[in-house]
Structure 1
Amino acid sequence: MTFLDLFAGIGGFRLGLEQAGHECIGFCEIDAFARKSYKAIHDTRGEVEWHDITTVTTDTLQRMRQPDILVGGFPCQAFSVAGKRRGFDDTRGTLFFEIARLASVLRPRLLFLENVRGLLHHNRGLLHHNRGDTFETILRTLDGLGYDLEWQVLNSKDYLPQSRERVFIIGHSRGTSFTQVFPFQREDRRFLGSEKTNLGIQTLGNINPSGNGMSGKVYHSKALSPTLMTGSDVKIAIPSERSTNGLILAGNLEGKYAQSNRVFRKEGNAPTLTTKSDGLKILVKEATIKGYQEAQPGDSINLSHPTSETRRGRVGKQLANTLLTSEEQAVVTEDLQIRRLTAKECWRLQGFPDWAYERAAKVNSEYQLYKQAGNSVSIPVIYDIARRLN
């Protein structure tokens, strides 16, 4: 089937859909740097190209070829728990209605949309049975356009070593025959839930030597990597790091440790905490009764807002935290060193093949490449959904 790629970014949706046999007929992306990467990666000759979706007129839509699928990960910052969650009060939140506007004119057979899990909970959300919530507004809008809807939250950790929950929405044009897509659970998963992660971790040597995935050499052989973050590079590292504000500490852990509280500098190796039974540990400050959480090799650490008096959940046990829009992620390694992920490694963590990164690297700065990886979608997840569309 043919598809129109909205909020296209660098084309993560496109690669997943094309791998499933679908054909792109056009794209829309407002960010000039992302467009440079997109056009370097994909052959867009003869395709429709739009920049600002709000300027696309009804007349333009009526004159173009009708796509079978309208796809898009509409801007998520307005609904993300990492942002201010202003929702439809935020300009980025209102861009959903541009998708609805295009769908009302183009009348595609299918809608394939993506957003953060926080969309479900925004304004209390469907899970709290508040019928005035943001997600229900989206569902009612698409239902009013004549689409039967299904949705599911999927986690990239079932495909890649990144815990990244996203809600995917499929809309079927009412009156057409279709096969239900959701719910499904990926079988024979390589990356498992936290209670089984140790088994999966042992398989990390070189996950995909072809480059169509993540390179195992990036990570410690017994630990998952940190999640990607946009804006700059990501740190793999530490029971030595950081911060000048005292987020990561060493200290007396329930009387078992002899080191005094101190803050470690980025430049050097830190003293380590040891225990007779559990091995190396560090203490990460957070707003709990104990005042800290223990982190061991393989755990990820969220370093954002180090002076916060209310922040919890900084330590991800044996799984990477979700990709955010800053560089505040790290992972504890057994050799107590810190190393930054390269931009190429970040792209691999989203499932991009190396050839795609290399094309983008010729037209964009390293800063933009980090940002683009963080703003993208996980290609294997898109493919797994796209192959079920008919």
Structure 2
Amino acid sequence: KPQALVLENVCGLASSHDGGDFRMVVEAFNSLGYSVDAFELNARRWLPQSRPRMFVVGLLNPIDGGYLDSAVRPDKLSWIHSDSSLKTHITPLPAVPDLMVSGFTSIADKLDADDPRWWNAERIGKFMSSLSAIQAERMEGLKASSTVVARTAYRRTRNGKPVWELRDDDIAGCLRTARGGSSKQAVVFLGKGDIAIRWMTGAEYAKLQGAYGFALDGFRESQIQYAFGDAVAVPAVTWLMRSAVVPALRHKAGFDEVCYAG
């Protein structure tokens, strides 16, 4: 039997059916002999992408004695530790990094001006005409800046009409599998009186998941976006494994020194 099992899901699992689905997951882990701890980790602590995800960690030989840090164990998860009918443990953890407030502009691909992926003037005009007054004001302010920045935008449906919404920070929205317009993010470069727009590239998808330098040759953009859009963020999972799983495995193996992620 594996010493550890880890389940990743959207954070809505914690609250669906008033927490009943989450309870079923914990009970299923318990029925297999695993004690459970659960965490909410946002990839934004390591990468310029807002991507909160829920992780359920089951261990046969857990290390207990931690405290309920609300930064990674909000109330919708931490209640399991006060339910005596469930077998759980509170993992001692290192400090979790603060949420990033910038960084997308620095990793956005800088394509040549004649790259065919840039939208033409007509398409940009339709983008701009769909913006609400607040969105248009935000865009004009960034456009007039002396510094060029990149912002991501999603297409939404408001009152039955498709509109574009521009993020107000230097962080990408949550990546999704690239099916349908609302799942794809456009990248908008604004500054020095100019605007340029294109779809997010596959390489940017990879970087936003922490897969820098990943070999993408031979794959279509849609394949890359689909794969990374439904993946897990590398540094978030690395932190989880080094902090909540590996120490328990080392302890079980008889190592005196327990190494936590920094």
> Is the TM-score greater than 0.5?
yes
- Distance, in Å, in 2 between the alignment partners of 1:152 and 1:183 is 11
The 1:321–1:219 alpha-carbon spacing in structure 2 relative to 1, beyond 3 Å, is: farther
CA contact (8 A) 1:111 1:170 kept: yes
Q: TM-score, normalised by structure 1?
A: 0.43
Counterpart in 2 of 1:122?
Answer: 16
Question: Alignment partner for residue 184 of structure 2, among 318, 328, 339?
Answer: 328
Q: Which residue of 1 aligns with 2:81?
A: none
Distance 1:316 1:338, change over 3 A: closer
Structure 1 match to 2:30: 143
Equivalence for 1:337: 196
What are the superposed Cα offsets for residues 266-318 of structure 1, whole Å, 9 maximum, x if unpaired?
A: xxxxxx965xxx5549xxxxxxxxxxxxxxx6553321335547x99955330
In the alignment, the residues of structure 2 paired with residue 304 and residue 377 of structure 1 have an alpha-carbon distance, to the nearest angstrom, of 24
For 2:39, the equivalent position in structure 1 comes to 152
Letter of the 1:333 partner, please give it: F
Mapped to 2, the partners of 1:148 and 1:169 lie a distance apart of: 10
Q: Percent identity?
A: 21
Q: Is the 8 A contact 2:40 2:55 kept in 1?
A: yes
Q: Aligned residue for 2:130?
A: 247
Aligned to 2:109: 218
Unaligned 5+ runs, structure 1: 1-106, 127-132, 206-215, 221-233, 258-271, 282-296
Superposed CA deviations along residues 25-57 of structure 1, whole A, max 9, x for unmatched, are xxxxxxxxxxxxxxxxxxxxxxxxxxxxxxxxx
- Residues 143 and 168 of structure 1: CA distance in aligned 2, closer, same or farther (over 3 Å): same
For 1:304, what is the secondary structure of its paired residue? Answer: strand
2-side partners of 1:111 and 1:122: how far apart?
22
Residue ranges of structure 2 left out of the alignment (5+ in a row): 65-89, 112-116, 250-262
State the 1:380 CA deviation.
Answer: 0.8
- Shift of residue 178 of structure 1? 3.0
Q: Distance in 1 between matches of 2:163 and 2:130?
A: 12
Aligned to 2:210: 351
1:1-390 aligned within 5 A: 107-123=1-17, 125-126=18-19, 133-173=20-60, 176-178=61-63, 181=91, 185-187=95-97, 189=98, 192=100, 197=101, 200-201=102-103, 205=106, 216-218=107-109, 241=124, 243=126, 247-249=130-132, 274=140, 280=143, 299-305=151-157, 308=160, 314-318=165-169, 319-326=171-178, 327-335=183-191, 336-354=195-213, 356-358=214-216, 361-362=217-218, 364-388=219-243, 389=245, 390=249
Q: Tell me if the contact between 1:245 and 1:306 (Cα under 8 Å) persists in the aligned partners.
A: no
1:153/1:167 contact within 8 Å kept: yes
Deviations 1:324-363 (A, max 9, x none): 2234323443241013333223212211142x323xx33x
Q: How many residues end up aligned between the 2 structures? A: 202
Instruction: Give the number of the structure whose residues are more often helix, by fraction.
Output: 2
Q: 8 Å contact 1:162–1:321 — kept in the other structure?
A: yes
CA deviations over 1:154-184 (Å, ceiling 9, x no partner): 10011111100100111112xx353654665
What is the RMSD computed on CA atoms of the aligned residues?
A: 4.1
Give me the whole-angstrom Cα distance separating, in 2, the residues matched to 1:245 and 1:204.
Answer: 21
Residue type matched to 1:369 in 2? I
Q: TM-score, with normalisation over the residues of structure 2?
A: 0.61
Distance (whole Å) between structure 2 residues aligned to residue 218 and residue 340 of structure 1:
11
Give, in whole Å, the separation in 2 of the partners of 1:235 and 1:114. Answer: 35
